[in-house]
Amino acid sequence: MNSRPASRAEQRRRTESRILAAARRQFAEVGYETTTIRAIAAEAETDPGLVMRYFGSKGELFARVAGVQPDDEVTGAPEEAAEQLLTALELKLGEQPIDALAAIRSMFAHPDAAGEVRSAMISRQRQAARHLADDNADLRAGLIGALTIGVVIGRHLLELDGLRDAAPEDITTLLRQAFHDIAHGTPDPPRPDPATRAR
């Protein structure tokens, strides 16, 4: 058994890891405004001054833990992209995406959080759009992104009946046709204006 004492660098990494885990949970549960450095330090079993020394400020710590973590890049043809986006959603439904929830919960009260969420989603959508049907690709990606974040909020934050307790695969099964229709379906032609048709 290796009983050598941890080096100073190892001790710092462990302390930083505890701080990040505590901050992630605090921001997700009570939001940016209510979370304090003192509460994070207490949960991480360290000193508030050390939190500030390692991360600078509450805002910088928030930016570190509360960004929407990037999913795997979307690849392949639109049909494959739709399945990859469904898989990414299913993973988010399987266990609470703490980083994303921290950002979402805080974005309504803290402008920096809104910027973090928007920036992450725009980057994700632009990358996904390159693998969706060419016509209205940006709109297609935006709609799938809106569906994804809406379902995640409905399940984990609002805990909507049915959605809260459903198996993730049951949710994605019901959404599969919609994702494929949006990702690569051919839009119906515009409906004629009734006033024009009556002439």
Which pLDDT tens digits describe the chain residue by residue (199 residues)? Answer: 455 667 888 888 999 999 998 998 888 778 777 889 999 999 999 999 999 999 888 877 887 776 555 678 899 999 999 999 999 999 888 876 666 666 666 666 666 666 666 777 788 889 999 999 999 999 999 999 999 989 988 998 888 999 999 999 999 999 999 999 999 987 666 667 666 555 5
Domain ranges of the chain: 8-65, 78-184
Q: What is the CATH number of domain 8-65?
A: 1.10.10.60
Residue 140: predicted pLDDT: 95
Q: Give Cα separations from 101 to 28, 47, 49, 51 (angstroms).
A: 6, 26, 27, 22
Residue 193: predicted pLDDT: 66
Whether pTM exceeds 0.85: no
Half-sphere exposure of 84 (CA within 13 A, CB side): 19
Residue 57 in tokens: 């400020």
For the stretch 130-160, pLDDT in tens is 999 999 999 999 999 999 989 988 998 888 9
Alpha carbon 89 to its chain centroid, in Å, reads 10
Residue 32: predicted pLDDT: 78
Q: Give Cα separations from 117 to 75, 94, 121, 163, 199 (angstroms).
A: 22, 20, 6, 23, 49
Residue 3: predicted pLDDT: 55
Residue 192 in tokens: 């004629």
For the stretch 74-96, pLDDT in tens is 999 999 999 999 999 998 888 76
